Amino acid sequence: QVHLVESGGGLVQAGGSLRLSCAASGRAISNYAAVGWFRQGAGQEREFVAAITRSGQNTRYADSAKGRFTISRDNAKNTVYLQMNILNAEDTAIYYCAAVFNMASEAIMTTVPSYDYWGQGTQVTVSS
């Protein structure tokens, strides 16, 4: 069974940093065509944050994440990371890891329906 577990969330002051981890079991991280990070704030829709392809060569970021967040994968550790820097209050949300084995095009790696497997999320709270 595919299982994704997020960790690394917590309370941080504005301007601080956090590194989120997405640990996979049941399948190797290398088997996923794409792994993405999404977030959902209170009363908000789930939105795309960042994604990475199987090779790790291609990444995509939401405009809000560009220059501040970095997604990476470590196949040996079966883990995908999201390094988040210069956090602000708008980053407060539950962050979810998502994965898919097959994706028709990298053009759709930013959308929620493109992913088949989701973790339970980890809370990130940024205080001002």
DSSP string, 57-100: S-EEE-TTTTTTEEEEEEGGGTEEEEEE-S--GGG-EEEEEEEE
The mean predicted confidence, pLDDT, of the chain is 94
Task: Check residue 97 and give its pLDDT.
Answer: 97
| Burial grade of 19 (CB within 10 A; 0-12, 13-18, 19 or more) | middle
Neighbouring C-beta atoms of residue 128, cutoff 10 Å: 8
Task: Check residue 27 and give its pLDDT.
Answer: 78
Phi, psi of 29 (to 5 degrees): -55, -35
What would the pLDDT profile of 102-126 be if each residue is shown by its tens digit? 988 888 999 999 999 999 999 999 9
| Candidate from 5-9, 21-25, 102-106 with smallest mean pLDDT | 102-106
Neighbouring C-beta atoms of residue 113, cutoff 10 Å: 7
